[in-house]
Structure 1
Amino acid sequence: MTTLGTASAAPGEIDIGRLPVGEARDGSEIGLPVAVINGRHEGKTLYIQAVSDGDELNGLGVIRRFVPQLDPEELAGTILIVGIANYYGFLVAEHRNPIDDTKLNRTFPGNPSGTASERISAAIFDAVKRADLALDLHQGSTSCMINETRVRCGSRHRLHHDCLELAKVFGCGYILDLKGPDGQLARAAPDKGIPTVDPELGGAVGWDETSIQKGVKGVFNVLYHYGFLDGEITTTTQTRASSFEQYGSPSGGLVSFEVGLGDEVERGDTLFEVTDPFGTVKAKVTADSNGIFWRHRRLPQVATGEYVCSVGTSIDRV
């Protein structure tokens, strides 16, 4: 029998339940929605979570698509799933946990006696430590972004090769290989010997079907490659960026982009123009380096200095 919170599944079974993480302001118990998929055959354990940021829903879209496709009778090993990690943020469609105004994915491995976010992270991390591999499904918040997978442990980490391999297997086509901030799950879990990546499945307000389908394919790639299901995949060469350049607006106005997501840019290429409401060009912003146009804001209106876009740099193929 394998359990996660109140979910309990014998070999060949699936069960859903709740993982207690504390109490709400009215004293009622708060539990994260969880699932245990216990394969009929012995094998590895995979941990998957979504909605670490409360407005990033594509990962949840992935979970609700791939779980009904699984037959535990055909599965080797176990899948532990936390469907909604930032439960408080999800309820109000906010990026941060509104209870403590904290970004949940900066609090791992957590503290069972700490803030609301630290307690959630601690409960989650207890499940992560039982796994051989972990996927933390994200998206580019509500910005427009390419589909990519992030390796956050740093190139000198002892598990860097394993995390990079996991990212390649997931197969978004683009990889950001850049050490992440302290407190990220994809930073903390490799320190415990668990290869972990966070696929960034595009960016959207609500669902983005193309990114969700890419995420479903990525999860099944992992299941096939690591022996959870019978089958093979062919890993292809992917584009890796090892750094970012971010661009703000030199003036207020309306942004028009001159390049599209995924386009290669060269130093000096125009990335965007800023106009006044009547179309008069106030500024042109060009690329400082060669790279890939990686992410841009969704709305056209900007103030002076406001974030506009990002270019992935230090590009190679892996």
Structure 2
Amino acid sequence: MDQIVADLGLSVHEQWELHKNHITPLPENDDGKRICVVTGIHGDELEGQYVAFLLNQELQQHPEHLRGTVDIYPALNPLGINTIQRGVPLFDLDMNRIFPGATDGPAAEYMAHEAIEDMRGADLAIDIHASNIYLREMPQVRISEETADALVPLARELNIDFVWVHAAATVLQSTLAHSLNEIGTNCLVVEMGVGMRLTPGYGEQLTQGILNLMHTQGMWAGPVMRPRTPIVSRDKVAFLNADASGIFVPETVHSGKVQAGQCLGIIADPLTGTVRQKVTAPVDGLLFTLREYPVVCPGSLLARILMEGETQ
């Protein structure tokens, strides 16, 4: 059922509406649990849109398997999605920096507050992000150290490739995930793909993972696939940045294993026809982030490698 969580009148007779699809099980199958699947906080991150579509289809085609309530929020920042902007247009801000919001704050903070209040009391939440237009990410869950004990076991069921546990000091307290975890709703942050694009294979992979996680929590009785066993790392990651300006041309495959000294790509100078930098792997490991947008300048992030042997 399409429900409006919150709405605000805007200028020129426009309306800011926050929608969710509220899917409930058959009365005799209801175990009282609820999961929230959220995406579209950033208007340039569209990978979650496909997951919302696939999950909606599966739940509606097989209502007999559903054992809990599922709330799907496909566009928490619809204004950003409609205008192809990362943040909330007109307000010039990142929506994932204003949670938990405020009832008496500006419009964006009010909408953030209403979203949190609507999700309050859920047993689980999954906040789906893509990368930006510059980087491609393999399907991963990002978790803070302070929530790792509770969230890593849940992340292992999500059919993703990598769980990255961050130092607590690097986690922003103004995000949706942090706010939900603070009020007792376990929230997993998924990052995958690239900005302004769809990677259908990633969407299908995560959808199967969500069904599997629901199955382990007693919310889904339908068939599920055996999830992938993710690598779990506590921040043992090597960052590769550009030393020169030019065009980055990758020479390796994203999501593959690399060896120290292996060439990952070059930074080419279109003006002179010279190679400004040969980019090599500093360590053995898993290449889980790779530059997608080719134009770079000194300092631009080119890749991230999970160091071999630094996993759990």
Q: 1:275 aligns with which of 254, 263, 268?
A: 268
* Aligned positions of 1:1-318 closer than 5 A: 15-40=1-26, 41-43=29-31, 44-70=33-59, 71-152=62-143, 154-155=144-145, 157=146, 159-178=147-166, 179=168, 180-230=171-221, 231=223, 234-243=226-235, 244-277=237-270, 279-313=273-307, 316-318=310-312
The answer to whether the 8 Å contact 1:148/1:176 transfers is: no
The count of corresponding residues between Structure 1 and Structure 2 is: 301
More deviation, 184-193/20-29: 20-29
The answer to whether the 8 Å contact 1:111/1:118 transfers is: yes
C-alpha offsets along residues 241-263 of structure 1, whole Å, 9 cap, x if unaligned? 33244333211112122432223
The answer to whether the 8 Å contact 2:142/2:191 transfers is: no
Q: Tell me, in whole angstroms, the C-alpha distance in 2 between the residues paired with 1:91 and 1:192.
A: 31
Higher helix share: 2
Using the size of structure 1 for normalisation, the TM-score is: 0.85
- Quote how far apart the aligned CAs of 1:235 are: 4.5
Q: Tell me, in whole angstroms, the C-alpha distance in 2 between the residues paired with 1:149 and 1:128.
A: 23
AA matched with 1:140: S
Q: Tell me, in whole angstroms, the C-alpha distance in 2 between the residues paired with 1:303 and 1:221.
A: 42
Q: Which of structures 1 and 2 has the larger relative contact order (alpha carbons within 8 angstroms, sep 6+)?
A: 2
Q: Tell me, in whole angstroms, the C-alpha distance in 2 between the residues paired with 1:129 and 1:271.
A: 45
Structure 2 portions without partners, runs of 5+: none
The answer to whether the 8 Å contact 1:48/1:81 transfers is: yes
Classify 1:315/1:189 alpha carbon distance in 2 versus 1 (closer, same or farther; 3 Å).
farther
Aligned equivalent of 1:6: none
Classify 1:233/1:69 alpha carbon distance in 2 versus 1 (closer, same or farther; 3 Å).
closer
Q: CA RMSD in A?
A: 2.3
Classify 1:283/1:36 alpha carbon distance in 2 versus 1 (closer, same or farther; 3 Å).
same
Q: Percent identity?
A: 21
C-alpha offsets along residues 93-132 of structure 1, whole Å, 9 cap, x if unaligned? 1111112211111222122222333222111111221200
Q: Tell me, in whole angstroms, the C-alpha distance in 1 between the residues paired with 2:105 and 2:139.
A: 32
Using the size of structure 2 for normalisation, the TM-score is: 0.87
More deviation, 134-143/53-62: 134-143
- Quote how far apart the aligned CAs of 1:50 are: 1.0
AA matched with 2:232: R
Q: Tell me, in whole angstroms, the C-alpha distance in 1 between the residues paired with 2:88 and 2:127.
A: 17
C-alpha offsets along residues 12-63 of structure 1, whole Å, 9 cap, x if unaligned? xxx1122224222235432112111111222211011111110111111111
